[in-house]
Structure 1
Amino acid sequence: MVRYVTYKRVSTKRQGHSGLGLEAQERDIRLFLESYSEEPWEVVGDFIEVESGADAERPELAKAIELAKRERAVLLVAKLDRLSRKVSFIAALMEDPKLKLKVAQMPHADKFQLHVYAALAEQERDFISLRTKAALQEVKARAERENRKPNLGGLRDKTMKRNVVLKAQADERAARLRGVVAPLRDRGATLREIAAALNAAGLETPRGGQWQAMTVKRVLERLDAA
């Protein structure tokens, strides 16, 4: 019998009290157990944490890991970023020979693939603020070249600033995703399959949403154009 210890995390107390975020994680874990787990299976422990993903001091996760090791069970999470948003933290868990780990949204991923996705997600978050600052500087520089001050409060300048920021984010995100989407495409993965892999890694689209086949297609077109 395969034993599992499930772990779910939300970032705010409001999410914890309302169940927002928890229901989706419970759904994904249930789908994994019903569709991908060897049978028979048993859940020997279930832990819920209300903490930021950037905080490595999480008592419920520590309890879940300890129980999984003691019971020789698999630590099961819905998404990789529910463990942590720090690749160093995730890497340390993967290097522990006594701990088995599964991610519901990536049922067939091995440790190497999980490490790659974790690293990409961390780099993505680090670049968000830098991209925004660079885009705003570009707006101001363009206005100066046209010998006028940028009126960031005006509708036209707001639209221009927004478009520049979105374009910069899309271009840089596409370049940074090359190492994932290009090999998947080369191996014959469909647009939908690539989108599922990006969503499972916790990566968002430039607009902060979920990846779809069409958004993956746009990324690949940007990469081909570059």
Structure 2
Amino acid sequence: MSTEEQGRSGLGLEAQLDQCREYIARTHGQNIGEFRDIRSGKDRNRPGLRRAMELAAREGATLIVAKLDRLSRDAEYALYLRNTGVDLLAIDYPEATTITFCLAIGLAQTERELISGRTKSALGVRKKQLKEQGFFISKAGRRVTRLGNPRPQRGPMSPDQLARRMERIAENRVVDPRMVEAKKYALALQRKGWSLAEIADHFNEVEIERPRGGKWHKIAVKRVLEYNDAE
């Protein structure tokens, strides 16, 4: 599930954390650590999950996730995690047995594979149309003659052109869900007294993706905190 889809479903990072915190409070447990990964559920390279597993194993704690498919949408990898000996609990399947665990993860992987298959199939159709007739009609009704970025490369813009473009972007801006999630996380840390440098170091440590790429630094965190996500 992508970050944007998480936001639409109400299961963004903060919502998932809130569910986990509420479950721990309701069951009179103790929260000994919180870890985040802004990654796809199919990705095995997840530093936050790795640190969470290490802490749970060291402390004999239970690793809690809001949804089972947030643990992984890769059935083989999910079973590997289950067989490490660390207690795993998904709030949407709190009483999951080995059978129900395997079924739920298998369904999540199947869903991911179906989506991937539909995407590849649609792309194949478009390529065939381009080869046979030289164009296809997009969903927006536009005639498309090639795949990829439809905008040609342009030279540097003049200051006036840049100002006009920024005005258009401001008028028609689409909220970046990655900036929204990073802002929520940074605000939470700032309320705890963390400095911009400390937040930047933490974001780099837990490998939170920076929307513009590269490493986090004080100015990047400041821009995130100032990001206007009002629609």
TM band (smaller chain) = 0.3 to 0.5
Q: Which protein has the bigger strand share?
A: 1
Larger Rg: 2
TM (normalized to structure 1)?
0.47
TM (normalized to structure 2)?
0.46
